[in-house]
Amino acid sequence: MAVVQFDVDNGIGTIRLDRPPMNVIDSQVTGELRAAAGEATARTDVRAVVIYGGPKVFAAGADVKEMAPMGHAEILAWVSDLTTTFEELARIPKPVVAAVTGYALGGGLELALCADFRVFGDNVKVGLPEILLGIIPGAGGTQRLPRLIGAAKAKDLVFTGRQVRAAEAKEIGLADRVVAPDDVYTEARSLAGRFVDGPAVALRAAKRAIDDGLSGGLSEGLRLETAIFTGLFGTQDQRIGMESFLERGPGKADFVGR
């Protein structure tokens, strides 16, 4: 039985974890997440994506029962597969919003960190508790989290393994919006919906420029930005956007996504 669903409605694709009760991430979840990322990337009718765990919990972490008996070679293959999957989710060339309810711990928080934006319910608890198991986060937690909230704040969460509530998550920049639990998915769709009619090629380019630019120095990032910027000239959306601006002013273009 499938444990990850992918549905499309009005240009928004929803990647829904469905492994009750806690959406623990095992090998099956990993494989199906990777397939969903590929579908979200390939489908032209998908203009933005929401990652959602359902109304009660986002994902309570990786499957410790599956990991515990593994030796070095086995865990290397297991975590490499998970890391590759999360990288494919992070590289979906469209705006991605994580809709987080209940718990997002360990691998669950690492999954949420793959999104461009995060909407939290006001009752959530998130954290990276791996240190309490005698290990460290292994699927992006030590890399994506400090890039998002800064090294010192990330070290606090990683070194202690403590759980953070929604208010603190918002304060440190881990959550972009905090709403009532019942409103999380609706709010995430609303946020994603802002991009559905936007210039898809330029949005893809902007995401690549920011994400890839962060992996190098400023000079390298500026060169990348210049190359991506000039590459957009000649696209239909660039012509439409500039012609619309000259004729009608900003914010009135009807983009076609090409």
Mean pLDDT, rounded, for 9-28: 96
Active site residue 62: yes
pLDDT of residue 252: 85
Q: Which two tokens stand for residue 65?
A: 């029962």
Angle between helices 151-160 and 141-149 (to 10 degrees): 140
CA distance 11 to 122: 27
CA distance 45 to 8: 8
Active site residue 107: yes
C-alpha 69: how far from its chain's center?
30
Catalytic site residue from 53, 130, 141, 205: 130
Mean pLDDT, rounded, for 195-213: 95
pLDDT tens per residue, range 131-172: 999 999 999 999 999 999 999 999 999 999 999 999 999 999
Instruction: Give the residue from 187, 194, 125 showing the smallest Cα distance to 162.
Output: 125
Catalytic site residue from 110, 169, 198, 257: 110
Please state the length of the chain: 258
Q: Which two tokens stand for residue 73?
A: 């070679």
Catalytic site residue from 36, 48, 62, 192: 62
- Cβ–Cβ under 8 Å, residues 207 and 48: no
Domains annotated on the chain, with CATH = 4-193 (3.90.226.10), 200-248 (1.10.12.10)
pLDDT tens per residue, range 46-63: 999 999 999 999 999 999
Run of H or E including 4: strand 4-9
pLDDT of residue 251: 83
Active site residue 130: yes
pLDDT tens per residue, range 106-122: 999 999 999 999 999 99
Catalytic site residue from 107, 121, 198, 241: 107
- Cβ–Cβ under 8 Å, residues 81 and 30: yes
